[in-house]
Amino acid sequence: MTMRILRYGESEWRRYLERLPRSSSRSLRVERAVQTIIRDVRRDGDRALVRLTARLDGIRLDSKRIHVSSEEIRARARRADPKLAAALGRMARNIERYHRRQIERGFSLRLPDGSTLVERITPIDAAGLYVPGGAAAYPSSVLMNAVPARVAGVPRIEVVTPPRALDTNPAIAAALVIVGLEGSVYRIGGAQAVAALAYGTASVPAVSKIVGPGNAYVTEAKRQVRGTVDIDQEAGPSEVVILADETADAGWAAVDLLAQAEHGSGSEIVALVTPARKLAIEVKRLVDEGARSVANVATTRKALARQGAIVLVRDLDAAVEACNLLAPEHAEVMTRDAESIAKRIIAGAVFVGHWTPVSVGDYGVGPNHVLPTGGTARFTSALSVRDFVRRQSQVKLTRAGLRRVASDVARVAEAEGLTGHAQSVLTRFAE
């Protein structure tokens, strides 16, 4: 079975929507396992990290080897392909240039009575970056998570990664050197690494926010420690929706769909939304052919069969409606007047026109590729500098300033039954 063709608004479309993985989806088995891991790390610290790494990763550590020396990271970075390292360096500069435009300075508002109202923006004190191992060990994600934190001015960034990640992928080490984090790396992964960042151990300092992708256990651990620390988001499988009319190239649309389906989880969401039936049929044929030659063939076919769809709509207005119901991680607009259509789209990131495939967003033109998934683009945004700062108000009233608001404050406080609030203001003017 491959991508199905269905009609927007009909029963098969509604069933497709209902079956899609959403951000609230979770496994009770994973939830319980993660609860146990977090409890063990909180109780036993480094001893739990050593024990869990032996059991879950098959690697024997001792507490002295949890931290990876900067010399070791630099040595591993030198094993990376020099051309790849150079590309990562250019990518980092592009990301930094874009994210520097996100810096906010706050403001100070001086009132006529001499009072001042201030919004102060300061970086959080420490962030933790999770770098996954295995097939999901992407050096691009190191840059996308670390650069905004650096630009925000976070003074301390700790990096955790499974023990084998640095051995199997020297490009990870190269990316860590590029962002200046070679001295802050710990060879631990999984839920236990998230717990260590949240609560701290003798070897791993606690942080205030944890970012970075991971498997179901990592995602569940981030969910469970939220509140003790902040997290970026509960990332799900990759998603793309392509809006296309008859001007789109069927081959380009097909390869863009396959590029997202090949991520490897088998749960990726890939959809083409179009009023052009001829295009729909041709894209389906090309996707079927191309699925034999992408990475992760088995999981790509699984994703196409389970979450792949070509949605026929009456016109582009209906295409926008369908896309916005999905609120995908990525949306491509391959239509006439693409810029106008793009302004109406709800998605984590929108890629406009025939020459802008989603893949360029993954690899460093500037905007962040850490994006909301599972329909959460309706109310949340890409990772940015803003995620690594605190906004704090500061109020300084003069006597005249307090007198100006005193009666209003007292009246509302008394209406809410909080007479102490009213008295704290009025007592300052008691004769």
Active site residues: 329-330
DSSP 229: B
Q: Nearest 5°: phi and psi at 101?
A: -70, -10
Antiparallel, parallel or unpaired: β 389-396 and 116-123: antiparallel
Task: List Cα–Cα distances, 287 to 4, 60, 293, 301, 309, in angstroms.
Answer: 11, 44, 10, 10, 11
Per-residue burial over 44-55, b = 16 or more CB atoms within 10 Å of its CB, e = otherwise: ebbebbbebbee
Q: Is 293 exposed, middle or buried (0-12, 13-18, 19+ CB in 10 A)?
A: exposed
Terminal Cα distance for the chain, rounded: 84
Q: What angle do CA 45, 123, 366 make, to 5 degrees?
A: 105
> CB within 8 A of 126, min separation 6: which ones?
154, 155, 156, 157, 158, 205, 206, 207, 208, 209
